[in-house]
Chain A
Amino acid sequence: MGTMHILLRGRDIENLKQLEVYEQHEGFSALRAALGMSPAAVIDEVKASGLRGRGGAGFPTGVKWSFIPQQEPVKYVTVNADESETGTFKDREIMEENPYQLIEGSLICAYAIQARAVYIYLRGEFWDIGTQLDDCIEQLRAKGYVGENIMGSGYSCEVYTHLGAGAYICGEESALLNSLEGYLGQPRVRPPFPAQKGGGLYKEATVVNNVETLANVPFILNEGAEAFKAIGTTQSSGTKIYCVSGHVKKPGNYELPMGTTFRELLFEHAGGPLHGERGFKAMLPSGGSGPIVPLTDEVLDTPMSYEDCANIGTIIGSASIIIMDESVDITWVASKVTKFFAHESCGKCTPCREGTYWLDKVIDRILDGRGSPDDVRRIADVAENMAGTTLCALGDFAANPIIHTIKQFPDDFARHVQAEA
């Protein structure tokens, strides 16, 4: 297979982040094509491509767009650029090196649902990226790609950026909408869903899509849904940016067709184990929120697709692949990830707020050698009880690191509690 740049084109084309250079490389030809089609035809093309959401859940993008009620007079697109999952750093490279492709994809989505504005919600730490995007938007406005009567089509749409201020939960789509409206960034009760009247931004029907998802859209309009479908596997089409961090020689972003094996990614692209003599031990393929797996031959030979990762008991999610070698104590990993969720729980539901706090305390006790085998059983129980009982998926995410580290690496826990017993 090998590297294939649909999104990270900035690596091959010098100065792609300059508008003239982007224009020279098919820039805004996809938007022009879309504006010449009916909105429904644009949605059908994206549906036919099989593109699925890159923010983690893998929901089919065209299907999501088709949920927007056409008769509503006011609709919005919100770009999820919160990128806060531990180990994820792909949306950042798209926005830094290929910002116009994201904006073009967002405008195509906006046209397809006939939105009046696009809001790009950036995590607050992306301060410098926000400034750069504001500058891009002004240049696009000057050239008639944004604002009134886009490219003479009669369709008008504004594009704005909004900076968050440090809260992982604002990546959850309904919390993101609350935050953008100036309320506390806490998830909403659903239904109504964002795509429905009453559930979206300012209570209007809204599409929320991840940066990487939308950056794929210009390719689909330029090359056709079939060309996109030809890349990847039957259920996971296109490329994916895999963010590799931890104990590899060459951490970084790698854009490869979906369905490439973990082995190819980790050995051919990421350079293999950081310290040659120490082998790989474990992998978190979807940051802190997805199940951990041991790096066995079976796992290494698994294709990185939505369907194949399910077969090995984990998820590809946002593809934030954190690699740990043999020197790593998995109990320490469980503690690190649990601290993250304890810090980021928004506090709205009791099982998540109390559960993450308590898990953090007990796991620290185990790590210090003051825990008992009962403590290990107890945190597994608490985590099992959290899963599925909360308002948003963060409660499930927080349960995963406990449940799966204990299941996959029981010896790492036993070592801490037995030393004392």
Chain B
Amino acid sequence: MAIIGNAKYQARIKRHLAKYPTKRSAVMPLLYIAQEEYGWVNQAGINEVAQLLDLDPTQVKSIAGFYTMYSEKPKGKYWLQVCTDLPCALQGADEFHAWLKEELGVQEGGTSADGMFTVEHVMCLAACDKAPMLQCNFHYVENLDKDSMRALLAKWRVDGAGAANGSA
């Protein structure tokens, strides 16, 4: 497992490097690739991104730490980020978020015992007219209620059984 020399990523890395006049600008897209490969932004990924961009690993690590979408610890196969900001909360998102954690038996930011789901709350995701909603591995799922959420969890449990972390 690596991103350097991995055929799966070469075209994308090349495309990102070609977009900017400086190599350093590619740090964000390359961190996403590292996260895709390892399931989270681990030291191996940070070192590889640093090597590709001629940066110091500590510089890359500080960038990764600044943003919420780079995960600094392993996550479940489905990373569920529920918006509980004001507009969603006015439509019951706090209750929905609490219910979801209970349903999966997890604490805030925790991962379910089967390794399948990580649940956390996030700030506004620009989907305020479709609350409650969440982001699952960077894709939006909107207009949720308990029934539709239960059905989705059941589907993901099946789909995710063979999938790699974060790739579902």
Is the CB of A247 closer than 8 A to any CB of chain B?
Answer: yes
Contact for B124 among A86, A124, A163, CB less than 8 A: A86
Of the four ranges (under 10, 10 to 19, 20 to 34, 35 or more), the interface on chain A belongs to: 35 or more
Encode contact with B along A115-150: 1 for CB under 8 Å, 0 otherwise: 000000001111110000000000000000000000
Determine if A162 and B123 form an interchain contact, defined as CB atoms under 8 angstroms apart: no
Is the CB of A252 closer than 8 A to any CB of chain B?
Answer: yes
Question: Chain A: interface secondary structure?
Answer: mixed
Determine if A166 and B124 form an interchain contact, defined as CB atoms under 8 angstroms apart: no
Taking the closest CB of chain B, its distance from the CB of A385, in whole angstroms, is 24
Q: List residues of chain B with CB under 8 Å of any chain A CB.
A: 19-22, 24-29, 31-32, 53, 62-63, 66-70, 85-87, 89-91, 122-129, 131, 135, 138-140
**In this complex, what residue of A is CB-closest to B94?**
A336
**In this complex, what residue of B is CB-closest to A250?**
B129
Query: Which residues of B have CB within 8 Å of A84?
Result: 123-124, 126
Query: Which residues of B have CB within 8 Å of A89?
Result: 126-129
Query: Which residues of A have CB within 8 Å of B63?
Result: 182-184
Instruction: Tell me the complex Cα distance, A168–B66, Å.
Output: 11
Determine if B90 and A182 form an interchain contact, defined as CB atoms under 8 angstroms apart: no
Query: Which residues of A have CB within 8 Å of B29?
Result: 162-163
With A84-B124, A128-B139 given, is the CB distance from A182 to B19 under 8 Å?
Answer: no
Instruction: Tell me the complex Cα distance, A179–B139, Å.
Output: 22
Q: In the complex, given contacts A163-B28, A182-B27, A184-B62, what are 5 additional A-B residue pairs having Cβ atoms less than 8 angstroms apart?
A: A91-B126, A125-B135, A165-B69, A180-B25, A322-B87
With A89-B127, A181-B22, A243-B128 given, is the CB distance from A164 to B67 under 8 Å?
Answer: yes
Determine if B86 and A125 form an interchain contact, defined as CB atoms under 8 angstroms apart: no
Is the CB of A45 closer than 8 A to any CB of chain B?
Answer: no
Determine if B90 and A344 form an interchain contact, defined as CB atoms under 8 angstroms apart: no
Encode contact with B along A311-342: 1 for CB under 8 Å, 0 otherwise: 00000000010101000100001001100100
Instruction: Tell me the complex Cα distance, A156–B1, Å.
Output: 40
With A125-B135, A160-B19, A247-B90 given, is the CB distance from A185 to B67 under 8 Å?
Answer: yes
Instruction: Tell me the complex Cα distance, A296–B124, Å.
Output: 27
The 9 closest A-B pairs by CB, nearest first: A165-B67, A166-B68, A245-B128, A182-B24, A245-B87, A251-B129, A166-B69, A165-B69, A182-B27
Contact for A337 among B25, B26, B86, CB less than 8 A: B86
Taking the closest CB of chain A, its distance from the CB of B54, in whole angstroms, is 11
Q: Which of A215-246 contact B (CB under 8 A)?
A: 243-246
Q: List 9 A-B contacts (CB under 8 A).
A: A84-B126, A160-B19, A162-B28, A182-B22, A245-B129, A251-B128, A324-B90, A336-B86, A340-B123
With A246-B87, A288-B86 given, is the CB distance from A125 to B19 under 8 Å?
Answer: no
**In this complex, what residue of B is CB-closest to A161?**
B19
Contact for B87 among A86, A91, A168, CB less than 8 A: A86
With A162-B28, A179-B28, A182-B25 given, is the CB distance from A333 to B126 under 8 Å?
Answer: no
Is the CB of A5 closer than 8 A to any CB of chain B?
Answer: no
**In this complex, what residue of B is CB-closest to A328?**
B90
Query: Which residues of A have CB within 8 Å of B70?
Result: 165
Is the CB of A98 closer than 8 A to any CB of chain B?
Answer: no
Is the CB of A9 closer than 8 A to any CB of chain B?
Answer: no
Query: Which residues of A have CB within 8 Å of B32?
Result: 163, 165
Determine if B129 and A125 form an interchain contact, defined as CB atoms under 8 angstroms apart: no
Determine if A85 and B124 form an interchain contact, defined as CB atoms under 8 angstroms apart: yes
Determine if B138 and A125 form an interchain contact, defined as CB atoms under 8 angstroms apart: yes
